[in-house]
Chains A and B, each alone.
Chain A
Amino acid sequence: MTIDDVLEDKELLKRNAENLKANIPPTRSPGVGLKKTLETVFTTHTFGYEKIIPLFGDPDEEIAIYPYKSILFEDKALLSEHCRRSLDSQHHDSVVRTMKKARNYGLDKFVFTYLGAHEYYYSRSRGVNMPAFGVFLSSKLDNRDEKANATMYDLESHLVAGRDPSELTLAPSDARDITGFEIANRYDDKFHDYWCGLNYETKNGSDESWASKREFHYYDKVSIEHIEAIIWPIQKGFDAQLGQFVVRADISDDIRKFRKNHSRIHIYPYEWNSPEGKDRFHYASFLVVDEFQRTQKYLHPDSFRDSFASKFPAW
């Protein structure tokens, strides 16, 4: 079965929700606050700053591409793999090597997001990373079209092993509902233990938290109209003449330009550097969701800046 078949079978979706919920020891129902948070909380998507690839069709040449420019300034949308391929001949086979299960299931026609903290883009290690952007998408997208859906887990997760994706597919509202039960029971009501896979007070966490989160899928493309906030990497370079780090000029220009055209979207610039990049990215993501789950509001950029700087001082 493909995702299209499953989405047509409303009974199957309902049965999946019942079965998956039954797998969670149902001793406690989520509280009103947690329920409300999960009904309204954003989904997340990550993309990179730059990438070097062989020039399509001419392997002797290579070219640097900038995914963030395509998404935020040119396409003005997150595109599904299928949509990218139809527009962009620069598409190369790195995507084809990954997410094979998702493609076979027909999910290449969807934009992927997590109901959880941003997944780091370039690696799953703190030791190496590249600058990453994290966007927060409105929960209203769930109802945007009939094809919006979720899977209980990323299909590459070890928790999916041996199971058919059709059994794990859910309507978005059921996925949010199940997550509430899961947090109440499996995570002892601790929202962040599910969302971030990391307790910032005890510093206990796992880089594999992506494997146990819900994955949401939106059909074809998601216009940046649906982005509510962005964590934006501020890259610094070392100025040999000044003998100190300074912000790269193009970064500031881009933020200014984007803010001018999209004043509604909250921008949270965070300072990226290679040795601490992953922790900085995760903490920036955490600050935004922490405020949202407590107040149902987005953090004020000044508060974000101060909180971030107190944990990660500027270089």
Chain B
Amino acid sequence: MDQKEILVTHFYRRPPDPTLWIHTSFITRKRGSNQRFWGLSNDVVDPRKIKADVDDRGLKELDVDIPIHEGETVWIAPDQSVFVADARNPLAPSRRYITQDKIPNPFDTIEKTILKKIAAGAYPAKDKVTQSFCSPAQWKTLLAILVKLLNNGELNEKNFFTVGYLFLILEARYAEFNRELNGYRFNGYYMTVSQGHLGFLNNKDLFYEWEIAIDTDSLESYFPEPEEEDFVLPDFSKLSMS
């Protein structure tokens, strides 16, 4: 780039490290120009790429553009505050605060949503948010949350029906994983999941074993094709739990 002042206009969001300052990437412009560049390079960024990344939440636009110099980069602090500073030392006195980011960790996001749904007493299987929790990327987090809720009593025999089918989804989609779960110590809890049956040993060494008496042959009815009408919540109150 030439000698015109360079300003950071956007930065790529990253989950913070709990104790360390980490680098992230950014987009710049020269003062007096609207053309955008990748970092401190002369490579021009397609505005469509910027829009797409902002829409996808990976890229954040600054309210006020911040000057940056050669040898500096954008840092994310453990508390998610964002700075411009020397690329080798974020604590150098020349550092400038940019903004405060806020990316919840997956555990908090999923737990918050599940608690909301338990409180509402309804949890339709076709719920897209719930389906995303059952994705390969999140299923272990989901199980950790369910175990936590079971142990602290927020999930009990009375309201288990609101989430019981989540186990069935996990079972149906991840048969292989569930086989692995048998005998698997999950965050210190011994869990078993098998057809129509959930068992776990909590941290007080009490073994909970609940039978979810659902005819698994009818699982298909829990997962209607997307173009069909909204799924009607099955009558989980008829489930027997022992």
Contacts and interface: CB of A to CB of B under 8 A. Distances in A.
A255 interface: no
Contact of A274 (B19, B24, B106): B24
14 contacts: A56-B132, A57-B129, A61-B112, A64-B103, A65-B137, A70-B136, A89-B131, A126-B43, A127-B37, A128-B26, A128-B41, A130-B12, A275-B39, A275-B73
Contacts of B39: 125, 127-128, 274-275
B19 A58 contact: no
A235 B109 CA distance: 25
A223 to B, nearest CB: 12
B40 interface: yes
B38 A123 contact: yes
B15 A127 contact: no
Given A51-B58, A52-B103, A238-B20, A74 B25 contact: no
Contacts of A90: 132, 135, 137-138
Contact of B20 (A127, A237, A315): A237
Interface string A122-143: 1111111110000000000000
Contacts of A274: 23-25, 39, 73-74, 87
A130 B57 contact: no
Contact of A125 (B14, B38, B58): B38
Contact of B129 (A55, A64, A124, A240): A55
Interface string A300-315: 0000000000000001
Given A235-B22, A238-B20, A89 B109 contact: no
B38 A128 contact: yes
Interface string A23-43: 000000000000000000000
B20 A246 contact: yes
A65 B57 CA distance: 12
Interface in A132-160: none
A61 B75 CA distance: 24
Interface of B: 12-15, 17, 19-27, 37-41, 43, 45, 52, 56-58, 73-75, 87-91, 103-106, 109-110, 112-113, 127-129, 131-132, 134-140, 173, 177
B135 A89 contact: yes
Identify which of B113, B134, B136 gathers the most chain A CB atoms within 10 Å of its CB: B136
A128 B53 CA distance: 14
A52 B58 CA distance: 5
Contacts of A69: 137
A54 interface: yes
B106 A64 contact: yes
Given A52-B103, A56-B132, A248-B22, 4 more contacts: A53-B56, A58-B129, A126-B38, A237-B17
A277 B74 CA distance: 14
Contact of B109 (A61, A275, A315): A61
Q: Lowest 6 CB-CB distances: which A-B pairs, in order?
A: A57-B128, A237-B20, A127-B41, A127-B39, A274-B23, A125-B38
A201 interface: no
Nearest to A207: B43
A94 B52 contact: yes
Contacts of B90: 238, 240
A62 B109 contact: yes
A127 B38 contact: yes
Nearest to B176: A76
Nearest to B141: A63
Among A66, A87, A246, find the residue whose CB has the most chain B CB atoms closer than 10 A. A87
A225 interface: no
A273 interface: yes
A128 B14 contact: no
Interface in A258-273: 273
A164 interface: no
Contacts of B22: 235, 237-238, 248
Nearest to A91: B135
A71 B12 CA distance: 23
Contacts of B129: 55-58, 61
Given A52-B58, A239-B19, A89 B134 contact: yes
A126 B37 CA distance: 11
A245 B73 CA distance: 15
